Structure 1
């Protein structure tokens, strides 16, 4: 892959990928799932919410209030992944551990087949969970995430090329000093939400995230292609996308076509695109997001 294309891919992927009304889970429970922390709100039908790269579970605060408030009959389980937003990192492959431990968390807490809502990297993790643990997953809501993030600029890229691109990006990011890395994060986050307060909050989570964890997780999602594997997902799936933050790369029609192409193997998938939100839809277009989720989960 030539260096110009790699730089364009890197910029687009970084923009896509970096992405509190909960009660902390008992400290003893953390020993069984060190790859994430969990906050639980409400009573009733379980819903698991997973934030994106370098994000806190607090990103779902408004969604939790909507889905699992006193008038609702749902129970929200909100994750913050290890190494993100001040949570202690873990050694090894974070996403593989999070997937395995989340399957265990569902079983241990007798949650049956909970709905899973995942944003960005959290959406990727939700897809992996549904592919590998179909009996433990109910309805899926994937918020601005793709099965093959590294293939957005070059749909015909091979698995070997994806792995090579991920390795190059990982090496380049690890070579950055902390100041340069932080500056890159700030630039990336600036276009992910519309309101300055939200941008500042997201940036703060990134600044408190473990650099090595963020880089490794990004490399994993860039180097992985689930476009064929999503055919194994048997649960109803809603994909919610955005486009206005990416209009410098492609028009709305092209971005929607990318979503439909990448999810074409997923049986019965529903895809909707917000015309008002940047990457953090829960901040930019919450009414639309909640309406889509309500309609899908009812």
Structure 2
């Protein structure tokens, strides 16, 4: 009986979210992203990762935005959204700060996945007065320093440039095969793999390459000390199992986030990069505890 009551409550909440009016915010003032707004209440901004559309957060919206207002972004150039000429990551950061101010949001929660989490950290470091809380879903502040923590800025830039150039020079067939192999390491279910691959193949490749370059060439570790917002970091361990013991994964996360005061780090043993697909209940439970 108790389980049936819980199930009925969850279904009712999901139906309520589906019934709430949603609108896409006018893009004139922020061409770097589209926004889908759902619900009412305290604001939550959800930022997807590289090549992903806002729909990657559909389950999260259903779970948390009955009593909150969700602003779900889809970034320019990703998953069929028209690209822009300006470098994407700086444009998103600048325009998102303006969007928060224009809509008079009172310290919104930022939830980001992968590159979206990198952007959430940048926002919290560069605009600490605007951000309330941050949820990081599977990213590191210095992705290029995973294996070489003391890598120099020059080495990071050279590595990122090499990856960008390789990405752009690959022919279409090889690119599609590469995306399928990569997606297979990031999410477990085959249907989810195909979904992620489909988003990549609909994305503007130059935008993807430039965004990857911008993220990999940057090192946010020194900037973390400027973040005032309480921050929850969620990581997926399953992608590392073949080449890194769990203890080393945890040590890597703690080392990269050591400059962020009060950070809470939790790792999901059963999830790969797309935690919202591989172990949604685990992710929702930890976000719920953090936000309440």
What's the TM-score, normalizing by structure 2? 0.91
Aligned twin of 2:202: 208
Contact 2:23–2:38, Cα closer than 8 Å, also in 1: no
Give, in angstroms, the shift of residue 23 of structure 1. 3.0
Pairing partner for 1:235 from 229, 235, 238 = 229
Q: Is 1:174 aligned with 2:168?
A: yes
What whole-Å deviation, never above 9, does each CA across 1:247-285 have from its counterpart, x for those lacking one? 122111111111100000001000000011111111111
> Which residue does the alignment assign to 2:24?
25
Give the alignment partner of residue 57 of structure 1, picking from 54, 59, 62. Answer: 54
* Structure 2 residue corresponding to 1:68, chosen from 65, 89, 95: 65
Counterpart position of 1:184: 178
For this pair of structures, how many residues does the alignment match? 274
Q: How does 1:214-233 map to 2 (within 5 A)?
A: 214-233=208-227
Say yes or no: does 1:96 pair with 2:95: no
Output the CA distance in 2 between the equivalents of 1:106 and 1:154. Answer: 36
Residues 1-298 of structure 1 mapped to structure 2, 5 A cutoff: 23-26=22-25, 29-69=26-66, 73-298=67-292
- Provide, for residues 84-126 of structure 1, a one-character-per-residue CA deviation record: whole Å limited to 9, x for no partner: 0010000121000000000011111111210000000000000
Q: Distance in 2 between matches of 1:132 and 1:272?
A: 25
The question of whether the paired residues in 1 share the 8 Å contact of 2:22 and 2:39 is answered with no
Distance 1:23 1:191 in 2: 33
- 1:38 deviates by 0.5
How far 1:197 sits from its partner (Å)? 1.3
Q: Secondary structure at the match of 2:69?
A: strand
State the Cα distance separating 1:168 from its structure 2 match. Answer: 1.1
Query: 1:169-193 deviations in whole A, cap 9, x for unaligned?
Result: 1112211112222211111001211
- For 2:112 and 2:54, the matched residues in 1 are separated by 11
Q: Could you say if the C-alpha distance between residues 183 and 102 of structure 1 is closer, same or farther in structure 2, counting changes exceeding 3 Å?
A: same
Runs (4+) off by over 6 Å: none
With 272-281 and 168-177 compared, the bigger mean Cα shift is at 168-177
**Structure 1: where are the runs of 5+ without partners?**
1-19
Q: Secondary structure at the match of 1:134?
A: coil
CA distance, structure 2, for counterparts of residue 169 and residue 198 of structure 1 = 25
Superposed CA offset, 1:48-107 (max 9, x none): 0001000011000000000013xxx20111001000001000012100000000001111
Report deviation, 1:167.
1.0
Q: TM-score scaled by structure 1?
A: 0.90
Unaligned runs of 5+ in 2: 1-16
Greater radius of gyration (CA): 2
- Measured in 1, the distance between the counterparts of 2:196 and 2:23 equals 21
SS of structure 2 residue aligned to 1:135: coil
Distance in 1 (CA, whole Å) between partners of 2:242 and 2:23 is: 40
- Tell me the alpha carbon deviations over residues 126-180 of structure 1, each in whole angstroms, 9 at most, x when there is no partner: 0000111111111000000110000001111011100011111111221111222
